[in-house]
Every structure is written in structure tokens, then in C-alpha cells.
Structure 1
Amino acid sequence: MQRRAFLALALPAALAACGADNIWASDDAIRKARYVSPEPPSIGLLTVIGIPRGEGGHSALIINGSQRVIYDPAGSWNHPAIPERHDVLYGITPNFKNFYIDYHARETYWVAEDTIQVPLAVADAAIRSAEQQGATNKSFCAVSTGKVLRRVPGFEGAPTGFSPLNLRRWFLTLPGVVSKKHMDGDPANNHNVLLRQKNGVIEGYGADGRLHAQN
């Protein structure tokens, strides 16, 4: 993947430390951004893992229920088209999902995406649990992610410690997990999306190798 330049809108990413926020988007912004995916309902754990030592840098959830959201506790990614309320990001279209993953995958980190298909009611329970959690303090991403999962039927055994790796190890013991590995520079996982954020415009490299505005 070609080197990304994050201008103006992306906060500096100190992944190992996570970030912190107390953002509260309006009801109208959340309603307008709502995205309903045609994919089956699911709960996915995103784990940012260091290269080459393999340390855990960040935990987040991507939840596909009646709408698709990302729960990004103490995360550092944002965009003006994506309303956020206490670490829950709304309007996660396929492009913005890839945008989020590509932001975290870089020379020093890769992203594990571990997904379980669940009934719609369970996915919606996970969204409600994420919305109830509130803003997360710096470095508590795995703690809060575990707490969100523990309130969801079938995920009550989630650990609530500080280690993203321990949380992922537990998640991988659940039946039906499908895993993907996203690495910077891997053509099989290069989404050809996010490369620049500027004034709210998303640009990405197309098949011709040139930057194009993304809708």
C-alpha cells in the first residue's frame, strides 16, 4: 500500500497508547449517517498488533446489526462524514470500514479482523452495549471492549483486562470465528481506499495508480 498522508482531520496515531475523547454527535447526524449493510449480522473484533514484536496496540469492534457501527474505545481515527458518540462511530459503509482498517495497518502494525455471524438481535444488543459504555479513558481500549462484549448474549466470558492480545485469544476460542489479516503493502488486503484526508474529501488510488475522489 502506498504511503498515506493524514492531513488536518486525522489525529496523530499513537496506537500503543490509544487516544481519548468525549464526543457527542447529534441525533440528526447519527440518523443521516445510518448505514445498513446487506451482509449477515455479525460481531467482529479488530486487534491492532505490533510488528515485529507482536504486542497488542488497540482493540475495537465492528458490529453489523440493524446498522453497521464501529466501537472504537479511546481510538484516534475520525472523519467529518462519520458521526461519533462516546467512541461509537456511525455510518460505516464498506469504504469507511476499509478506511478505518487502512488507517491502522502500517509498517509497524497489522490488523486482525476476527468475525462471528450472530442473530440480528444479538448484533443489535452489542450495538446497545457499546452505546451504553460511555467514553473510554486512554489505554483502556481492551478493558472497555471486554465490558461491552460481556453484556452480549453468548459473549459473557470476555476478559476485561488491559491486553488486546488476551482479548483476541479468548475471542478466537468462540465457535465459527472467521479471521482476516490486514497488512500494509499486502496486495491481497490492499483496499485501494484511504490515502488522504483533506477538507472532508476522501481520496484513494484506483486501478490506474492515480488518486481519485471517493464517494
Structure 2
Amino acid sequence: MRHFYLCFVAVLFLAACGGPAEPIWAPDADVARARYVHDGPPSITLYTVLATRDGSGAHAGLLINGSQRVIFDPAGTWHHPRLPERNDVHFGMTPLMVDFYLDYHARETFDVVEQTIIVSPEVAELALRRAMAHGAVPKAQCTIAISGILRGLPGFESLPSTWFPKSMMTAFGKLPGVKTKRITDTDTNDNHGVLLVQAGDPRLK
């Protein structure tokens, strides 16, 4: 009974990882057109959204910089009308799009913790392939999906299998060479309209 209760609480606790598990599959032409190759080193970045009220974890996403840069945003609600998506993998993650992603999540009630680790090209590519093969993620399963991808990578075996964003963030922070930064925003709105602003951003023209 106690086990059932804890599982039930976990699902409620992670309800902020909203979004349907319905498959989305952008056409090949759109994915090819959006492809973005970042000039930085191969890397994996874990984003953790934390409530400013009590520090609890609300969501997690994974930015992968390999042969192209994408973000795996499992069960997330973020999207951009100019970016194609395949089952929670968003292609074309330029610096501007990363800014949009962070702006969407960081607000008066939520901070975003960014943790980046440099990896070999082979590990980055394996992470990319695993994210693209994962499939659409159901509600409240953002962190367990990320956990499944990371734990299969060389050098990430110590990470836990967990449903909780903050637990994953803590373990990820103990990996050798991780660089951490916290993104804050005092904006009081809930960012539901932020995509409309992004779509009309003059930097996109």
C-alpha cells in the first residue's frame, strides 16, 4: 500500500511535465532543413526546472550537441512553429532557440538549472540516436525517459533510474567536469503567450 501511495505522489509531483504522448513525426524535408550544427564541442546538457517556492523539481530536458544539436524535451509543452519535432525531439536548436526554450521555462515561479558536460563525439552521437529512437513520452515521465537515455551512455552509468528531476540533477552534478549555471527570470507572466512573441521575433527575419 505504501509503495502504491509513493508512486501516486510521484505522478502528482511531476504533473508539470505536461503534454500528450501522441506521436509526432515531422517530414524528412523539414528535419533536413532545420538541421543545425553547433561549433562547440560535443556535449550533453541537462536542464532542470525548479519551483522557486520550495525548490522542487518540475520538469527536465536534454540538449544534445552531436552531429547536429537537438533538444529532447520529454512530455514537455514547449514548441516553436519554426522547428520540426519528432516524438519530443526538437531539431534546429540554434543559440536563439535555446534562449527561447529557457525563456519559456524560467519565470518568477521557476528557475532553470543548466548542467553541461563535454563528451566524446561517439557518446554525443549515441545520446542523439537514443533520444531519436525513444518515442513519445507520456505525461509525468520526463525524468525517467531522460534517465533511460543517459544510463546507457559510457561515463553516465552512475546516474539513477528516477522519476524525480531534482534527484537526476543532483546525480548529474556529481559527474566529472560538469559546469552548472542557474537561469532566473523575474517575469510574472506564466509564459503561455511567449511562443507568439517568439514567432514574431525580428531576429528570425
Q: Give the structure-2-normalised TM-score.
A: 0.85
Q: C-alpha separation between the residues in 1 aligned to 2:196 and 2:61?
A: 25
Q: C-alpha separation between the residues in 1 aligned to 2:177 and 2:163?
A: 25
Match of 2:165 in 1: 164
Q: Residue 18 of structure 1 aligns to which amino acid in structure 2?
A: G
Compare the two structures and name the one with the higher strand fraction: 1
Match of 1:202 in 2: 200
Instruction: Identify unmatched segments of 5+ residues in structure 1.
Output: 1-13, 187-194, 204-212
Instruction: Tell me if the contact between 2:17 and 2:76 (Cα under 8 Å) persists in the aligned partners.
Output: no
1:84 counterpart = 2:82: no
The SS at the match of 1:74 is coil
Q: C-alpha separation between the residues in 2 aligned to 1:197 and 1:141?
A: 21
**1:11-160 matched pairs, under 5 angstroms:** 16-21=16-21, 22-160=23-161
Instruction: Tell me if the contact between 2:100 and 2:198 (Cα under 8 Å) persists in the aligned partners.
Output: no
Q: C-alpha separation between the residues in 2 aligned to 1:145 and 1:116?
A: 15
Q: 1:120 to 1:161 in 2, by over 3 A?
A: same
CA root-mean-square deviation: 1.9
The Cα shift of 1:17 comes to 4.0
Q: Give the structure-1-normalised TM-score.
A: 0.81
Identity %: 45
The SS at the match of 1:185 is coil
Q: 1:198 to 1:75 in 2, by over 3 A?
A: same
Q: C-alpha separation between the residues in 2 aligned to 1:71 and 1:155?
A: 17
Instruction: Tell me if the contact between 2:17 and 2:142 (Cα under 8 Å) persists in the aligned partners.
Output: no
Deviations 1:54-90 (A, max 9, x none): 0100011001111000000000001121111011010
Match of 2:10 in 1: none
Q: 1:15 to 1:32 in 2, by over 3 A?
A: farther
Q: Residue 46 of structure 1 aligns to which amino acid in structure 2?
A: Y
Compare the two structures and name the one with the higher helix fraction: 2
Q: C-alpha separation between the residues in 1 aligned to 2:46 and 2:178?
A: 10
The SS at the match of 1:197 is helix
Instruction: Identify unmatched segments of 5+ residues in structure 2.
Output: 1-13, 188-192
Instruction: Tell me if the contact between 1:55 and 1:165 (Cα under 8 Å) persists in the aligned partners.
Output: yes
Number of residue pairs aligned between Structure 1 and Structure 2: 185
